[in-house]
Chain A
Amino acid sequence: MKAQIEVRNLSLAYRGNLALKDIGVDIPEKQVTAIIGPSGCGKSSLLRCLNRMIDLIPGTKVRGKVTLDGEDIYGSRVDVMDLRKRVGMICQKPVPLPMSIYENVAFGPRLYGVHGKALKHAVERSLRSAGLWEEVKDRLKEPAIRLSIGQQQRLCLARGLAVEPEVLLFDEPTSSLDPVSARHVEQQVAELKRDYTVVIVTHDLHQAKRVADHVMFLYLGELIENGTTTQVFESPQDYWTRMYVAGAGI
């Protein structure tokens, strides 16, 4: 299986404190990889290292190498804006931009010079992929903040899809949603792997089992175990992984 993202000896320091220690992992193409672990173990930090959103946090220092299709994303010639277009991100809390539903999805393509009919098609295609088109097709001009929280999260997904990324990063995308909306978003994530490489950070072990093909278990900034979902959940090799997947507090 081809790895689209390769992480090698990745360490992250935040104001001198190590948040990630020597992480090495391959993230396979067009599969769902879940990052699990207790709070504060560095899951979100690792995710943010994959599209350099970590650069936005002052005082952070990254060491090591992360390659996307063989190219080092921390290389000096990398265009960070282009990288973020290729590696999209959907955050924990849905954040609609202060504009209409249509404008929200059109925001990204417009940055890259898409206008007119092509833009309309991009908006419709993205809203369909995010499973939101049928619910909003007659109210595209309405403010995005009027959508329910679950719809807002799918709108954020549509907005991320509209720039045609290759990889999608989800940072606990269902943690602020009600169970029905959460299941809806989860279904979309599972479907997206046909076209995208997906990395999802989740607190919910059941969710990881349901949607992921591969699982990485992080603890105190270290990658403890990494393998297929069946391996990690049914025959974990490490003591801490066994404790965590068994639901024992660690």
Chain B
Amino acid sequence: MKRRISEYIFIGLTTAATVIVAGCLIAILAAVAIKGLPALKWSMITQSPTGGYYLGGGGGIANAIVGSLYLGLGATALALVISLPTCLYLRVYLKKGRCASWIRLSLDVLWGVPSIVFGAFGFTIMVLLGLRASLLAGIITVALFELPIMIRAMDEVLTMVPSELEEAAYALGATRFETGARVVLRQALPGLVTGILLAFGRGIGDAASVLFTAGFTDNIPCSLLEPAATLPLAIFFHLGTPFEEVHQRAYASALILTILVLLASTLARVFATRFSKHTWR
């Protein structure tokens, strides 16, 4: 009887926890959709702010949508260029040695550093390089912020690649590079895409790291050295006004940001599924 009661308690607790998590997600999406949909107009997506937009005037947030996409894609691409070789080095060359453990530990510490600290660090680099608040400075800072997330997520996936696969390639005379690039990465591809996506989602949605570095502007940036508006900061500025109508636009902006991340996620999943038909499960 006692064992049966403990079993019921266990099922109850785990179910409740799962329902809370799923409920939170649904509640967030519902709140953003319910409050944001009425304010979401075509002009909001296609136009940049005109005079008095943040006081309830006309225009839209095309500048922030394009700015966020430039920044998110640029930073993710830059982070990927550094993450992929780092992950391969950890997986194929260092494996599980002491050095690899230290690198993983430092990446975990970096992952835990608040994004505002990355923002302050990015600002210092900007000053050193003589850069103004610009898209480039934003991309570099967000890439630094995304790096530990991307590397650790990818590293976890690469660690799960069976060592027999590597052996099969080595047995044919493949070098470590050939084995890593052509076999290990291919096997891990669906998981790697998830890692990239996780970093992209964090990068595009972060406000603190771009506050000092990318700046904010009503224009769509035409070069890397111009400041760029971003959706998280646009939401922040919308909510900072005392006008209810503008507040609603904040929710509409949040909805756009959520849709962008969901869209990227779906595209990545489709891409990953196409490649995962070859992988071991």
Residues of A within 8 A of B (CB): 51, 53, 56, 58, 81-85, 88-89, 91, 93, 95, 97-100, 107-108, 111-112, 143-145, 156, 159-160, 163
Closest B residue to A169 using CB positions:
B171
Give Cα A143 to B276, complex, Å: 10
A158→B280 CA distance, assembly (Å): 19
User: Is A84 a contact of B170 with CB atoms below 8 Å?
Assistant: yes
Task: Confirm or deny: B132 has a beta carbon within 8 angstroms of a beta carbon on chain A.
Answer: no
B172's partner among A58, A85, A93 (CB-CB below 8 A) is A85
Q: Which residues of A contact B178 (CB under 8 A)?
A: 111
CB proximity of A50 to chain B, nearest CB, Å: 12
CB within 8 Å for A95 and B172 given contacts A111-B178, A143-B277, A143-B278: no
- Report 21 cross-chain contacts, Cβ distance below 8 Å, ordered by A residue: A81-B175, A82-B173, A83-B173, A84-B173, A85-B172, A85-B173, A91-B167, A91-B171, A95-B167, A98-B183, A98-B187, A98-B278, A98-B280, A99-B278, A107-B169, A111-B173, A145-B278, A145-B279, A159-B172, A160-B171, A160-B172
In the bound assembly, the distance between CA atoms of A151 and B46 in angstroms comes to 56
Chain B residues closer than 8 Å to A143, beta-carbon distance: 277-278
Say how far A160's CB is from chain B's closest CB, in angstroms.
7
Since A51-B171, A53-B170 are in contact, a sample of 11 more A-B pairs with Cβ atoms closer than 8 Å, ordered by chain A residue number, is A83-B173, A84-B172, A85-B172, A91-B167, A95-B165, A97-B183, A98-B165, A98-B280, A108-B172, A145-B281, A160-B171
- CA–CA, A107 to B164, complex, Å? 16
Judging by beta carbons under 8 Å apart, are A111 and B187 in contact?
Answer: no
Which residues of chain A are near B19, meaning CB under 8 Å? none
Instruction: Collect the chain A residues with CB atoms within 8 Å of residue B171's CB.
Output: 51, 53, 84, 88-89, 91, 160
Nearest CB in chain A: distance from B158 CB, A: 13
Among B173, B279, B281, find the residue whose CB has the most chain A CB atoms closer than 10 A: B173
- B183: chain A residues at CB < 8 Å are 97-98
Chain B residues whose C-beta falls within 8 Å of the C-beta of A99 in the assembled complex? 186, 278
Cβ-defined contact, A93 with B173, below 8 A: no
| Pair count A-B, CB < 8 A | 71
Q: Does B264 lie at the interface of the complex (its beta carbon under 8 Å from any beta carbon of A)?
A: no
Contact B164 A95 (CB under 8 A): yes
For B169, the chain A residues whose CB sits under 8 A away are 97, 107
Judge whether B24 is part of the interface by a CB distance below 8 angstroms. no
Do B167 and A53 touch (CB < 8 A)?
A: yes
Are A88's CB and B170's CB within 8 A? no
User: A98 near B186 (CB under 8 angstroms)?
Assistant: yes
Q: Which residue of B lies closest to A51 (CB)?
A: B171
CB distance from A211 to the nearest CB of B (A): 21
Chain B residues packing against A (C-beta within 8 Å): 95, 162, 164-165, 167-175, 178, 182-183, 186-187, 277-281
Name the 8 nearest CB pairs between A and B, nearest first: A85-B173, A108-B172, A89-B171, A84-B173, A98-B187, A95-B168, A81-B173, A98-B279
A136 to chain B, nearest CB (A): 15
Chain A residues within 8 Å of B187, by CB? 98
Cα-based distance from A215 to B32 in the complex (angstroms): 74
Question: In the docked arrangement, what's the CA distance between A53 and B162, Å?
Answer: 16
Contact A156 B173, CB 8 Å, known A98-B183, A145-B280? no
- Complex formed: what's the CA distance from A107 to B175 in Å? 13
Residue of B nearest to A107 (CB): B172
Chain B residues with CB under 8 Å of A81's CB are 173-175
Chain A: which residue is nearest B279 at the CB level?
A: A98
Given A93-B164, A98-B279, CB of A56 within 8 Å of CB of B170 = yes
Question: For residue B162, which residues in chain A have a CB less than 8 angstroms away from its CB?
Answer: 95
Q: How far is the CA of A112 from the CA of B175 in the complex (A)?
A: 11
Q: In the bound complex, what is the Cα–Cα distance between A56 and B166 (angstroms)?
A: 10
Contacts of A100 in B (CB 8 A): 278
User: With A and B bound together, what is the CA distance between A108 and B183 in angstroms?
Assistant: 12
A88 and B172 contact, CB distance less than 8 A: yes
Alpha-carbon gap, A111 to B168, bound state (A): 13
Q: A95 CA to B281 CA in the complex, in Å?
A: 12
Expressed in whole angstroms, the Cα–Cα distance for A51 and B162 within the complex equals: 21
Q: Separation in Å of the A198 CB from the closest CB of chain B?
A: 15
Interface contact B165-A97, CB-CB below 8 Å: yes
Interface centre among A95, A107, A112, A143 (most CB of B within 10 A): A95
Closest to A85 in B: B173
How far does the alpha carbon of A108 sit from the alpha carbon of B182 in the complex, in Å?
A: 11
Rounded to whole angstroms, the CA-CA distance of A84 and B174 in the bound complex is: 9
Judge whether A144 and B182 touch: CB under 8 Å: no
Chain A residues with CB below 8 A from B164, complex form: 91, 93, 95
CA distance A98 to B182 in the complex (A): 9
Q: Known contacts A56-B167, A91-B167, A98-B183; is A163 also within 8 Å of B280 by CB?
A: no
A102 CB to closest chain B CB, in angstroms?
12
> Is there contact, CB below 8 Å, between A156 and B172?
no
Tell me the smallest distance from the CB of A39 to a CB of chain B, in Å. Answer: 19
For the complex, give the distance between the alpha carbons of A72 and B178 in Å. Answer: 26
